[in-house]
Each structure stands twice: as C-alpha cells, then as structure tokens.
Amino acid sequence: MSVGRVFVAVTMPDEARHAVAHHLSEVDSPVPGRPVPPENWHITLRFIGKTESVPYEKMLGLLDQADLGSPFRLRLGSLGAFPGPKRASVLWVGTETGSAELCDLAAFIEEIVDDAGFMPEERPFHPHLTLARIRPHLDVTAYVESVPPVPASWDVSDIVVYRSHWGRGPARYEELERFELT
C-alpha cells in the first residue's frame, strides 16, 4: 500500500514565517518565479518521494528509537539560487547559524532512511528554505544581491514527516509524524 510522496523536514514557527514574508515585502521587486506560499515554508532534511507502507513504517520505527540530538538555534541568512544565480531554477534563503546542526541531522536522517530500505540521496545536503521555483531558468543575480540577510530565527526542537499532495494550485503538506529532539 502506498503512503504517498513523503519528506522529512524542520518546520518554521509562524513568527519566523511572518518575519521572512515581511522582509521580502520590503524589497522593491517581487520574488522572481513562482513563489512558495509561506504556509509551505520548511527546511527539507530528506525528500523520500513516493513510498510504500512497509519501508515507511520501518523508517518511523527507527526515527522513534533514534537520538536525534539536542534542540538548537537556527538563523536564516542570505539569498541564493540553485544551480546558481545566473541560471536559477530555485530561489532560496540559506542559514547563518544552525547549518552544522542541520547537516548533522540530515546525515543522521539519511542513515535512517537508508536502513529502512530507501535509495540513497545522490545530491549533497545544502540547508536552505525554498522561496520560489523558477521555470524557465532566470538570472536572479541582481535580486539576490539586492536583498539583505533575512532577520528570522527560531529554536529547532523537532522534525516532521510530511506527505505532499499535488493538484491544482500549490502543493499541500500533511503532517504525518513529529519527532522531538532531546
């Protein structure tokens, strides 16, 4: 039985969402591309994709038994783009503090996902919050350089397993499970 398209992420509290949205609204030009709605903002630790219930349940069991580490402070930083600002397909905001902790957490989640039987992630983890998807690719160098670092921070105390639902309009994310950092 299929569980659907699943990913593991760090969520944002509403205060941080409002701070980022307000910061971006102060910029003279709009966010290029197709902006991600603020209610969908998160930092993906591991995208798993379409999954069946057996490996999914195994992953949940491993997460439930795992020591995910201690809570930590995360502060957002400057904007960037994948694969680069001159030919951007994704506009994002990076992290100024908490990057090492996010990388450690993502590496640990990768081990759990691998132990549960999922294919390994081939791309290196880069902590970021996706702001917009850009099709076709655009040069966003001027925009990235014009936006000062984002003044938003929060305490990360848990991770969430989400299922994404696609259809008309933006994706909708359903929280399936939450695991506390201790």
Catalytic center residues: 42, 128
Q: What is the pairing mode between strands 128-138 and 34-35?
A: antiparallel
- Is 56 in contact with 3 (CB distance < 8 Å)? yes
One-character DSSP codes across 21-83? HHHHHTSSSPPSSEEPPGGG-EEEEEEEEEEEHHHHHHHHHHHHHS-----EEEEEEEEEEES
As a whole number of angstroms, the distance between CA 13 and CA 10 comes to 10
CA angle (182, 103, 166) in 5-degree steps: 90
CA angle (87, 33, 77) in 5-degree steps: 75
For the chain, the straight-line distance linking the first and the last C-alpha, in angstroms and rounded, comes to 32
As a whole number of angstroms, the distance between CA 159 and CA 162 comes to 10
Which neighbouring-strand residues pair with 174? 163
